[in-house]
Chains A and B, each alone.
Chain A
Amino acid sequence: CNKADLGPISLNWFEELSSEASL
């Protein structure tokens, strides 16, 4: 499988999604 097909990757996805959910 090709990682590029999954879109931009963030190493801090959990913290970023938690911040977005707090907004």
Chain B
Amino acid sequence: HSAEQTEIAEVPAWDSLNPGTLQLVSKLKNPSGSCSVDVSATWWEIAGFKEPCIVTACEYVVSLWKPLDAWQWEKIYSWHFTEVPVLQIVAVPDISNLVCVALGNLEIREIRALLCSPDGKSEKQVLLSSGNIKAVLGLAQRRLVSSSGTLCDQQVEITTFAEDGGSKEKQLLMPPEETILTFAEVQGMQEALLGTTIMNNIVIWNLKTGQLLKKIHIDDSYQASVCHKAYSEMGLLFVVLSHPCAKENELLGSPVFQLIVINPKTTLSMGVMLYCLPHGQAGRFLEGDVKDHFAAAVLTSGTIAIWDLLLGHCTALLPPVSGQNWSFVKWSGTDSHLLAGQKDGNIFVYRYT
């Protein structure tokens, strides 16, 4: 196991008007030189202790990094892929010692679980599903949902993992008659699952019974919306969407995220809040992540922007560092850090306060 060189760089300068601050605490350097595609944080048991580790994905290599003292990181395992490149890491909550990845070229062709042998000495890969996979999401209680096929042959499947990471059981959900773009859990409701579809509908499933409960058409102002988070409060469903195709509005600026409220009983919905870029900032949503009440997005301009969903406005901007645009951003699932990645493989860990 080779120790990788990491470094702590200077804290970047911030716009004093923005109340949030991002402090750079650590940097992981990718020595492979291949194109970096994703990052995630997960728990991994090392020598009897569960450690908050970082997983990095390049096109053909996924690596697990364990924390050392003083914000240094050591690469302990790597999984190699020869034929199909990695598209994304699929974080599965409530599970340790396992990472899922989606592989493919433009579309997902395979989902694999990455593990280690019981003695911890060799890496293992298990094929979970293959085919024309459209959407995938890790769910609470060691579950993973994926949809494959299109229209009449669309299949929506839940895989539940055993504690040792093996695939325990599979269950099918009733498919909607339109292609699913994304899935989202409903916070606090472990049996509910949402999906957004190509026809700008939000569908609701009961995960216990597999029933498709409702199809709700949302405002057509923004096409191809991605659902990031949902919660139910006082009989209403609140949903945070991002709008990759949103056009700039002269009055509002660029809407990147939006909070909508849905009455699932009547299927009526309305917009509650638009989360736009501050004046003077240009760019559309490219990629992003929502955790608790914080949303982070990489914009087409190469900048990362963060919104406090409760305050309703952008709280921090992170311009490109070292002349390199940002290409992906994730909130850490193991603490409150922000993981920001560049195409060349460098991952920056920020503390957001």
Chain A contacts to B: CB under 8 angstroms: 1, 3, 5-14, 16-18, 20-22
Q: Is A5 within 8 A of B270, CB to CB? A: yes
Structural contact, B261 and A1, CB atoms closer than 8 A = yes
Give the contact stretch, choosing among B93-101, B229-237, B243-251: B229-237
Q: Which of A6, A18, A20, A21 contacts B266 (CB 8 A)?
A: A6
- Contact between chains at B191 and A13 (CB < 8 Å): no
Please state if B211 and A22 are interface contacts (CB–CB under 8 Å). yes
For the complex, give the distance between the alpha carbons of A8 and B211 in Å.
23
Residues of A within 8 A of B192 (CB): 14
B268 at the interface (CB under 8 A from A): yes
Listed by A's residue number, 11 A-B pairs whose Cβ atoms lie within 8 Å are A8-B263, A10-B235, A10-B265, A11-B234, A11-B235, A13-B265, A14-B264, A17-B213, A17-B214, A21-B211, A22-B211
Dominant SS among interface residues on chain A: helix
Mark out the residues of chain B between 234 and 281 whose CB falls within 8 Å of any chain A CB in the assembled complex. Answer: 234-237, 261-266, 268-272
Q: How far is the CA of A13 from the CA of B235 in the complex (A)?
A: 6
Is B76 close to A, CB under 8 A?
no
B264 and A17 contacting across the interface, CB-CB below 8 Å: yes
Flag if A7 contacts B234 (CB, 8 Å): no
Complexed CA–CA distance, A20 and B237 (Å): 18
> Which residue of chain B has the shortest Cβ distance to A1 in the bound complex?
B270
- When chains A and B are docked, how far (Å) is the Cα of A22 from the Cα of B206? 11
Bound Cα distance from A17 to B209, whole angstroms = 12
> Does B189 interact with chain A (Cβ within 8 Å)?
yes
| Interface pair B211/A1, CB less than 8 Å apart | no
B209–A18 CB distance below 8 A: yes
Cβ B261 vs Cβ A9 within 8 A: no
Instruction: Report the bound CA distance from A14 to B187 in whole Å.
Output: 13
Decide if B25 is an interface residue (CB 8 Å cutoff): no
Given A1-B261, A6-B236, do A14 and B268 touch, yes or no (CB 8 Å)? no
Do residues A7 and B191 form an inter-chain contact, with CB atoms below 8 A? no
What's the minimum C-beta distance from A10 to chain B, rounded to whole angstroms? Answer: 5
Contact B263 A9 (CB under 8 A): yes
In the complex, the answer to whether B261 meets A6 with C-beta atoms within 8 Å is yes
* Known contacts A14-B189, A14-B192, A21-B213, A9 near B265 by CB under 8 Å: yes
- Provide the bound-state CA to CA distance between A5 and B212, in Å: 25
